[in-house]
Structure 1
Amino acid sequence: MTGNPSHFTHALCRAPAPSAIHGIRADGGPDPDFAGLAAEHDAYVAALCDLGLTVEVLAPLDDFPDALFTEDVALTFPEGAILLRPGAQARAGEVAHIRDALAAHHARLLEMTGPGYADGGDILRLADRVIIGLSARTDRAGADELAKLLGQLGYRAEIAETPPGVLHFKTGCGLIDAHTILAVPELATCPQFAGLEVVLTPLGEDGAANILRVRDTVLVGDRWLATRAMLAARGIEARALPTDQIAHIDAGLSCMSLRW
C-alpha cells in the first residue's frame, strides 16, 4: 500500500447532540458551551466541503454524548471500512449507529470482535503503512486484531506506544505532509516515525499536534499562533479553525470525521 494518505474525496460526520457537553474528559474541567460547540462543528464541516469533499452529516445521538467524534468508532479506506471496538464502555453502542452509513459507502465492511479494544484516535495513516498507538483506549489485543483486519484491506500495520499523559496517539501527532509529522516532544523519538521528518510542536502548543491534513491543506486550531506561523514558514497551506469548545471534551480536528 502506497499513496497520498490525505487525498480524501468523502467524509462522514455526525452533528453534536445537546448531551455532547457532557462528553468524556480525562481531567474533568468545565463543560463546553453547546452553541459554541455546534458552531465549531459547523465550521469544520464547511471547511471540508470547501476543500472539495462530499460530506454526509448524520443525525445527532443524544444517548451518546461523544458520538460526534465519528473517527473513534471506525476506520475508512477506499478499499473498505473497519468497525472498531471503542475503549470507553460508554461509547460501545455508537458502533451500531454508524454501521448502515458505512455500508452505504463501502462494499466491504470488516468488524473487530474482541476481546481487545481500539479507538480511531489512536490510528495514524501514513503513505506506506498504518500506525496503531497503544493507549488507555487501545490495548494490545485490540491492536493485534486490528492489524490483521488492516492486512485484509492491503494495509501494513505497526504498533506504537502512546506516551503517558497523551490520551490518543493522534492527540500527540499529525501529518504535515506525507513525509513530515508534527509531534509533541514526548513522541520525538517514536521508532515508528523512522524515515520521516518529525517537527516538534512549538513551546506551549502541545495541543496543536492534532492537525488534520486534507488534500493540500492542513487544518489547525486557530489559537495555536506559533504552530500556524511555523506551517506558513514551511510553505504549508493552513486553515485555522476554532477548537476552544471541543477541547473541553478532549477532542481535536481529526476526531470529528471519518475520511476516505
Structure 2
Amino acid sequence: MTDPTFDFSRAITRRPALTIAGGLRAEDIGNPDFEGMLTAHKAYVAALKSTGAEVIELDPLDAYPDAQFVEDTALCLPQGAVLMRPGAPSRMGEVNEMAPALHSYYDTVCGIEGPGHIEGGDILVTGREILVGRSDRTDAAGVAELTKITSDWGYKLREVFTPEGVLHFKTDCSLMDAETILSTRRLDASGCFDGYRVLHVADGEEAAANAIRFNTLVLMAAGFPRTAEMLDHEGYEVVEIDNTDCAKLDGGMSCLSLRF
C-alpha cells in the first residue's frame, strides 16, 4: 500500500539558469556558483531517479533567477494541482511558466487568484492534514483561498506561524513519513506539531531541517553529520546532496522539486 505523503511516481525539476546570481536572498553571503549548482542539481535528479520515479527536467529560465525553486509555484495533491501566488513580486511569472507542465499530468489544475499570496515552501502535507505557515511570503488571504480549494477535496487545513526571521515554514521542517516530522527546536516549540512524532535536528544544524522524503530515500543537505546520523539510526536511508550554492539563495532540498 502506498503512502501519498512520500510515495511518488514523478517529480518536476528545473535546471538552474545562468542568471542565478540575481536570485533573492535574505542575507548576502556571496553569489552562488553556477557550475556548483548544476553539479548539485544533477546529483539531486539522479537521487530521485534512483527510486524508479520519472523526473521531468524543465529548461532554465534566465528571466527568473529563482525558478529552479519550483516547489513555490504549486501544490501537488492526488486530486489535482494548485498554482500558487508568490509573495515575492519577482517570482510571480514563474507560475505561468510552470502551468503547462502541470496541465500535462493533471486533469484538474486550480489557481490562487488573489489578492492573497501563498508559496509552496510554506505548505507541509502530512498524513492527517495540510499545515500552512504564515510567513513574509504567505498571508491570511492566501491561506483562506487555499483552504477553500482543499476542503472541497476533503482535506483539513491548519494555519500555523513561521518563526521570525525564517523565510518559509519548510525552511525549519520536513516530513519523514505520514506521522513523523523533522524539525528545528525553535519551530517545534510553537506547539504546531503536537500529536506528531517529532525528530529534532542537531543543535547548530538547523539548516538540515529542510529535507524531503521521496519514496525510500531521505534527501538532505550535506554537511550536517549529527542529523544525518540520527536519521540513519531512526531507520531512514539518507542521501546527502551538496546545498552550498542553493543555500546562498535561501534554497533547500524541498524547494527543488514538485513531487506527485
The verdict on a shared fold, with TM-score over 0.5 as the criterion, is yes
**% of aligned pairs identical?**
42
Once the 2 structures are TM-superposed, how far is the Cα of residue 198 of structure 1 from its aligned partner? Answer: 1.5
Choose 17-26 or 131-140, whichever is displaced more. 17-26
Q: Residue type of the partner of 1:81?
A: A
Partner of 2:200: 200
Once the 2 structures are TM-superposed, how far is the Cα of residue 189 of structure 1 from its aligned partner? Answer: 2.9
Aligned partner of residue 192 in structure 2, secondary structure: helix
Partner of 1:73: 73
Partner of 1:122: 122
CA deviation vs aligned residue, 1:139-184 (integer Å, no higher than 9, x gap):
1111111111112333221100001011100000011222211111
The alignment covers a number of residue pairs equal to 259
CA deviation vs aligned residue, 1:227-246 (integer Å, no higher than 9, x gap):
11111111211111111111
Choose 190-199 or 160-169, whichever is displaced more. 190-199
Partner of 2:242: 242
Return closer, same or farther for 1:8/1:121 CA change in 2, 3 Å cut-off. Answer: same
- Map residues 36-51 of structure 1 onto 2, 5 A cutoff: 36-51=36-51
Once the 2 structures are TM-superposed, how far is the Cα of residue 104 of structure 1 from its aligned partner? Answer: 0.6
Partner of 2:251: 251
Indicate if the aligned counterparts of 1:158 and 1:192 stay in contact, CA closer than 8 A. no
Q: Does structure 1 residue 230 correspond to structure 2 residue 230? A: yes
Once the 2 structures are TM-superposed, how far is the Cα of residue 3 of structure 1 from its aligned partner? Answer: 4.5
Once the 2 structures are TM-superposed, how far is the Cα of residue 128 of structure 1 from its aligned partner? Answer: 1.3
CA RMSD of aligned residues (A): 1.3
Aligned partner of residue 154 in structure 2, secondary structure: coil
Cα distance in 2, alignment partners of residues 39 and 154 from structure 1: 40
Partner of 2:186: 186
- Deviating runs (4+, > 4 A) in structure 1? none
Cα distance in 1, alignment partners of residues 233 and 220 from structure 2: 15
Once the 2 structures are TM-superposed, how far is the Cα of residue 223 of structure 1 from its aligned partner? Answer: 0.7
Q: Residue type of the partner of 1:243?
A: N
- Map residues 1-260 of structure 1 onto 2, 5 A cutoff: 3-260=3-260
Which runs of 5 or more structure 1 residues have no equivalent in the other structure? none
Return closer, same or farther for 1:75/1:40 CA change in 2, 3 Å cut-off. Answer: same
Aligned partner of residue 55 in structure 1, secondary structure: strand
Aligned partner of residue 18 in structure 1, secondary structure: coil
Once the 2 structures are TM-superposed, how far is the Cα of residue 21 of structure 1 from its aligned partner? Answer: 2.4
Cα distance in 1, alignment partners of residues 258 and 213 from structure 2: 13
Which runs of 5 or more structure 2 residues have no equivalent in the other structure? none
Once the 2 structures are TM-superposed, how far is the Cα of residue 192 of structure 1 from its aligned partner? Answer: 3.3
Cα distance in 2, alignment partners of residues 100 and 188 from structure 1: 37
Cα distance in 2, alignment partners of residues 189 and 51 from structure 1: 34
TM-score, length-normalised on structure 2?
Answer: 0.97
TM-score, length-normalised on structure 1?
Answer: 0.97
Indicate if the aligned counterparts of 1:86 and 1:118 stay in contact, CA closer than 8 A. yes
Once the 2 structures are TM-superposed, how far is the Cα of residue 124 of structure 1 from its aligned partner? Answer: 0.3
